Amino acid sequence: MTACRSGESRGATWDEIDLSGKAWNLPAERMKAGRPHRVPLADRVVKLLGSLHRIEGETLVFPGAKENTPLSDMSLTMLLRRHAPGVTAHGFRSSFRDWAAETTSYPGEVCEMALAHAVGDAVEAAYRRGDLFAKRAALMQDWATYATRPHEAGGTVTPLRGTA
């Protein structure tokens, strides 16, 4: 529900998460483009993160089997292989972008910024000071609503539970 890359999500730390401000602040060193990225958190994400059991002394939101090591990429891959053959982690980002372009009226630059993609050419980038956070927050709220709409209620999302 954040449209972030799997590595960014798996490496999330609690000190990056601001539940009261409904934001996830990723530092430049954890981003593919080497620039910090602020991710608006939809209400559903805030609720989900707030409900997670926190392990004392653990800084990672999604810890792996080894202490202070994030959940492995293979863990996510195997989950998808078992419950949704043919689905890839990157497919979630692609699905987000397709949904935003085909079913919403959000401007392309808002959608691209949500994916932490560079927007515009070098001249435009030199003049762009904001990160369109409020517009991205509305976009991510709409995405979370869409992505969590139960399949049984006429939605197009099938749960990854093996009972679908």
Q: Indicate which residues carry an active-site annotation.
A: 5, 32, 90, 93, 117, 127
- Collapsing DSSP states into helix, strand and coil, what is residue 136? helix
State the chain's maximal CA–CA distance in angstroms.
Answer: 51
Write the single-letter amino acid at 71. Answer: L
Distance, CA of 8 to CA of 32 (rounded, Å): 9
Take residue 83 and report the two structure tokens written for it: 């419950």
Q: Is 40 in contact with 136 (CB distance < 8 Å)?
A: yes
Query: Do 147 and 160 touch, CB atoms closer than 8 A?
Result: no
Sheet holding 17-18, edge to edge: 17-18, 23-26, 37-40
